[in-house]
Chain A
Amino acid sequence: MKPLVLFVDDDDMVLKSTRLVLHSMRHEWDIMFANSATVALALMEERSVDVLISDLMMPGMNGAQLLEEVMQRYPETIRFLVSGLNDLDSSFNYSSVLHRVFEKPVDMGVIKMAVRAAIQTIRSKPEA
């Protein structure tokens, strides 16, 4: 089965355009989209996600809280955060809950490479 990537952003235009630009990767991985942390967590109950990419600033549960929750529930999932950087809360220990942070607006080429590298890391791990 192909690896599964979940992309979370509260802005529909960002989701739609990301779907377009990542369409070319469909042979390498499957991708799902969620417009809130709640929707993302519901999707993750159904299917196991290999790489999670979330925007930071979202109404309700924000991206950092989502990654923290995912770290506890699904520690195997690789967790990326997309942030404007100046919206980072200095009291929050981001490095403990995420693998990488990308500055928004992020070059999708960079995301492709990062996801590919993450999948390779997962693959190279001996089966438990």
Chain B
Amino acid sequence: MRLQGLDTSNSSEELFGKAFYRTLLHAIPSPVFVMEEDVRIVDCNEICQSLFRKTGEKFFHECVGNVIHCLHAFEVPEGCGKSPACRQCLFRGSVNKALAGKKLLQQPVEMDVSVEDGVSQMTFLLSAVPLDHEDHRFALVILNDITAHCQKENQLRHTQKMEVIGRLAAGIAHEINTPTQYIRNNIVFLENALGNLRQIIHLQSETLKEMLPPDRLGKCEADLKTLDMDFLIQEIPVAIEQSLHGIDRVTKIVRSVKEFSHPDSQTKEHADINAVIEDALTISGNEWNQVADVVTHFDPDLPSVICIPGAISQALLNMIVNAAQTIAELTVEGELGKGTITCSTRRDGEWVEIRIADTGAGIPDALRERVFDPFFTTREVGMGTGQGLAIAHTIIVQQHRGSIVFETEPGKGTIFIIRLPLNRNKEPWENTG
């Protein structure tokens, strides 16, 4: 602790000189680089190489946009410093400020950094400070990668949001139960009553036939005809049946919302996976019915699985939505015809296997490793959160000790294969995360 009375003539800078500078630069576990006018790189530490697309020393004297491909640099190959879009670029702005003599510390910047064929959104805390050397001014830039931290924060926020939506949905589902109950009761009553009425009408008409003289009977039958008697007798049951069907559908939808949003959904229970998939399909109907047909091949003898049904439902829902989006992209929102989403279940030894297949574009080789990464998305900005498959992965693998893999063929589609352990002879898991 020699802070007080530090003798600058004896400082480590004096002692170690150039070696100190190089060691310090490369020891810093964050990308550090020195830039000059035109946002060109003059020096950087080793860790930059993992961030920059070029290796070795090829990036020296390059514009930063050529090595860090932020979003607009995709459209404009010259990258930062050259295109009009760069005027709004926070990165370039900060560097230019530093070159003008201003110090900027810990400025959060989001960049879409290119990785192979995909884009990964990264968040940095950017510090840019002026560095004067002889007659020249440079900017010293330090990027502190806080992507993982932000992802965690976002995931937490997302979870909290889903919890709020879940509670809201459960409340609404509960409120709908009561009117559904009496609508259903009344329809069933009308159905039974109509059966009796038909017998009453039949009895009365038989009696009339016996009692009335032929001329009165003829008039009576003509009157019944103008009152559409036959039509009513034929159509009222149809109307009742349709109403009953409708109210059963409402019930089914409310049930699946309840299943999805169950506030106590963290408890493990025996669940019928076929029913869970049906629920997920019902809830996600809006996502797929314009672009795809759904085919189900369920094993009717599938054993029940000890799981958190709400969580499995959410995982499958995410996968179905993903399948629908893939098909929507390939078919231009269904204009080029509908695709197919096939959901099937079967038992495989001590596992239950669920397959969700789409007829979308498939996953290119280069992206296969990143499919389950949080925030990895191939969708346009604002279209997908890149969270869906990551959440599904967490639920299946971490929460349920299952597995999730996929087979894909470009141009043909992708099959996601989810396996859940039956856990028949095991204690409930010690920790469900």
Contacts and interface: CB of A to CB of B under 8 A. Distances in A.
Contacts of A107: 184
Interface stretch (A32-40, A41-49, A61-69, A81-89): A81-89
B180 A87 contact: no
A128 interface: no
A16 B182 contact: yes
A14 B178 contact: yes
Given A16-B182, A86-B174, A108 B188 contact: yes
A104 interface: yes
Given A17-B182, A105-B181, A105-B251, A87 B174 contact: yes
A86 B185 contact: no
Interface in B235-263: 247, 251, 255, 258, 262-263
Given A21-B189, A86-B170, A105-B251, A11 B262 contact: no
A11 B178 contact: yes
Interface in B154-200: 170, 173-174, 177-186, 188-189, 192
A23 B258 CA distance: 32
Contacts of B179: 13
Given A13-B182, A86-B170, A86-B258, A20 B189 contact: yes
Given A11-B178, A14-B182, A85 B258 contact: yes
A114 interface: no
Interface in A59-118: 84-87, 90, 103-109
B170 A21 contact: no
Contacts of B173: 84, 86
Given A24-B192, A86-B170, A17 B178 contact: no
B174 A17 contact: no
Given A11-B178, A11-B182, A87-B174, A17 B189 contact: yes
Contacts of B170: 86
A105 B174 contact: no
Contacts of A18: 182, 185
Contacts of A11: 178, 181-182
B181 to A, nearest CB: 4
B254 to A, nearest CB: 9
Interface in A4-38: 11, 13-14, 16-18, 20-21, 23-24
Contact of A17 (B177, B185, B264): B185
Interface residues of B, number: 24
**Residue with the highest number of chain A CB atoms closer than 10 Å, among B178, B184, B247:** B178
A56 to B, nearest CB: 10
A20 B188 CA distance: 9
Nearest to B178: A11
A21 B177 contact: no
Nearest to A57: B174
B261 to A, nearest CB: 8
Contact of B184 (A86, A103, A105): A105
Contacts of A103: 255
**Residue with the highest number of chain A CB atoms closer than 10 Å, among B174, B179, B182, B255:** B182
A20 B184 contact: no
A14 B170 CA distance: 21
B186 to A, nearest CB: 5
Nearest to A10: B178
Contacts of A14: 178, 181-182, 185
Contacts of B186: 17, 20-21
Nearest to A106: B181
A77 B255 CA distance: 30
B337 to A, nearest CB: 39
**Residue with the highest number of chain A CB atoms closer than 10 Å, among B179, B185, B251, B262:** B185
B88 to A, nearest CB: 48
Nearest to B259: A86
Given A86-B173, A86-B262, A90-B264, A21 B178 contact: no
Nearest to A23: B189
Contacts of B188: 21, 108-109
Contacts of B178: 11, 13-14, 104
Nearest to B188: A21
Contacts of A86: 170, 173-174, 258, 262-264
A108 to B, nearest CB: 6
Contacts of B182: 11, 13-14, 16-18
Nearest to B193: A20
Contacts of A104: 177-178, 181
Given A13-B182, A90-B264, 6 more contacts: A17-B181, A84-B173, A86-B170, A86-B173, A86-B258, A109-B188
27 contacts: A11-B182, A13-B179, A14-B181, A17-B183, A17-B185, A18-B182, A20-B186, A21-B185, A21-B186, A21-B188, A21-B192, A23-B189, A57-B174, A84-B173, A84-B174, A84-B177, A85-B258, A86-B258, A86-B263, A103-B255, A104-B178, A104-B181, A105-B177, A105-B180, A105-B251, A106-B181, A108-B185
Q: Please list the 4 inter-chain residue pairs (A to B) with the smallest Cβ-Cβ separation, ordered nearest first.
A: A17-B185, A105-B181, A17-B182, A20-B189
